[in-house]
Amino acid sequence: MNFGIAERRIEQEMPHLYPVDDPQFFRSMGILMGPAIVQGNRVQELVNGEQIFPAMLQAIREARRTVLFETFIYWAGDIGEQMADALSERARNGVKVHVLLDWVGSIRCDAKLLETMSEAGVEVRRYHPLHWYHLMRMNNRTHRKLLIVDGSIGFTGGVGIAPQWTGHAQDPDHWRDTHFRVDGPVVAQMQSVMLANWSKTTGVVLHGDAYFPPLEPVGHLPAQMFASSPTGGSESMTLMYMLAITAAVRSIDIGSAYFVPDDVNCKALRSAAQRGVRVRIITPGRHTDEATVRRASRGIWGALLQAGVEMYEYQPTMFHVKIMIVDQLLTSVGSTNFDPRSLHLNDEANLNVYDTDFARRMTDIFEADLKASRRITFEEWRHRPLHEKVKEKLAAVVTPIL
């Protein structure tokens, strides 16, 4: 029952009715999807841990009223200690600090770090811990990565709090990832997403100007913070991806740490390629923390490759980026992978930015990752060894529940 979905899944491919730059697309994304597209935002990309963690730590250390932090992975290590120290210092100085850690993702966290934070006044809670009354939803994890400071500065992306995310992806022990600092009115939506899970976990509703201060425009980017959860729209993220893919007329670039799209998404990607859209997808190569997922992914590449989709495997280290860029206009970033767990079982959150300049910058980073990746052709895929094909078939059975 944990692995089942109560809601009906999207089973039919959506028709291509309008392009990404059509006003109807914006209406669909801003009304059909739920969160409004708000103007006046600024988004700064942070590439790899050497840029990501200093920015996050600085924002925490400069907090004056509130810090809210939700994450899937929080493990032992130096960066975990630095985060705990920064959060604790702010709490001791009167800042209201709320930390929500997924129970499964933080199971390797040093208990002393949690004790240090709690003793300093940080409110630390676990999402869906192991209790008899949680058994029906044990497989529903929060995979969101959200940090909101003073209700006005937000961070989201793919990083967890662990040594693997430090450095600059210089070797297989240091992963490739991207995170984003966000300023402007859309931060209120980020705060709302975080507080929904906080109230679900604690029964406490946090509100007031300490959490939702007035936010003035600070840039020119239209954006929305989009969330999904099995308890409140498990198919929402799938629908968002489907709308974007079916609207594409020129290009779709996808980076996904775990790429195992279901049949309807595969059909949408194939249809896009067949109508002339350039579709490029980067996934992890031999350096991966989930070999079973990689096998399941490779097993479904045949039809995609035949349709003209370009598949690439990142070579230097684990590729943990989650990004989709459509027609050099829409960029979607956040915690969501292109796999059954993210699309149907996890709580996820993505930031959608609608701007050509921002999309161009993200494409430049994507192109740099392409240069460090190896393209897999249909001929190479078709002639892979028999033992790999067998492993791929077996992996496909269990991947939806990993």
371 is annotated as an active-site residue? no
Low-confidence ranges of the chain (pLDDT < 70): 1-12, 132-139, 232-234, 399-402
User: Any residues with CB less than 8 A from the CB of 121 and at least 6 apart, and which?
Assistant: 88, 91, 92, 97
Q: Which residue in the list 98, 102, 128, 143 is annotated as catalytic?
A: 143
Q: Which fold has domain 23-401?
A: Endonuclease; Chain A (3.30.870)
393 is annotated as an active-site residue? no
Q: Which residue in the list 102, 150, 253, 339 is annotated as catalytic?
A: 150
Enumerate the domain spans of the chain: 23-401
173 is annotated as an active-site residue? no
327 is annotated as an active-site residue? yes
Please provide residue 104's backbone torsions phi and psi, each rounded to the nearest 5 degrees: -70, -50
Alpha-carbon span 146 to 105, nearest angstrom: 14
Q: Which residue in the list 102, 183, 327, 339 is annotated as catalytic?
A: 327
The two tokens of residue 256 are 């996904």
pLDDT (0 to 100) of residue 178: 98
Q: Which residue in the list 98, 128, 145, 267 is annotated as catalytic?
A: 145
179 is annotated as an active-site residue? no
Q: Which residue in the list 320, 339, 355, 391 is annotated as catalytic?
A: 320
Alpha-carbon span 166 to 49, nearest angstrom: 4
Do 178 and 323 contact (CB within 8 A), yes or no?
yes
pLDDT (0 to 100) of residue 30: 87
143 is annotated as an active-site residue? yes
